Amino acid sequence: MIRKFIYAIVVVKGLMVIWGILGFIEYFAPSVTFGLQDANFPLGTQFLHWLLIVLTGAVFIVGFLLRWRHTPFATITMYATLATLCFVETVDFNAFGGGSKRFFIMAAEYALYIALSMYLLRSKQAKERFGYRELSHNKANSADAKSRAAD
């Protein structure tokens, strides 16, 4: 099951792109309603919301298809932007219906970003797919020691 998890991430990122596109359709054509807009968000915040959702999904999918070695790092950067926007939407604009439960939902979203980031950085499947290797602390120390010994 865990070996197929990276494909589940691809599916979820595809759904994010679709969700973001639907949000943009509703944003630019208010007569078309899917119920995706949050009336508490200013227009600029709402635009940024959909842009980041589409970009996060697209960055991962394109990186996955091209086996771009920076995909995990670019995706984690997108998670950081989404987390920042989530904080603004939650604190300033009462996302998730307001009240204290919004902070629990925000915390769950942050926990998801952290878990996905750990998977992208540490899983064998991500390392194989994107062709990067983790630099071992011990290898770095031994290479540094060999370099100093040669001097």
As a whole-number percent, the residues of the chain with pLDDT over 90 amount to: 81
pLDDT at 143 over 70: no
CB atoms within 10 A of CB 21: 14
* Cα–Cα distance, 26 to 28 (Å, whole number): 6
Tokens of 19: 């969700």
Note the pLDDT of residue 132: 81
Where along the chain do its domains lie? 2-150
Q: Provide the pLDDT for residue 150.
A: 59
Asked if residue 145 has pLDDT above 80, the reply is: no
CA angle 13, 24, 55 (to 5 degrees): 35
Separation between Cα atoms, residue 84 and residue 81, nearest integer Å:
5
Q: Per residue in 54-102, pLDDT tens?
A: 999 999 999 999 999 999 999 999 999 999 999 999 999 999 988 999 9
Summary mean pLDDT of the chain = 90
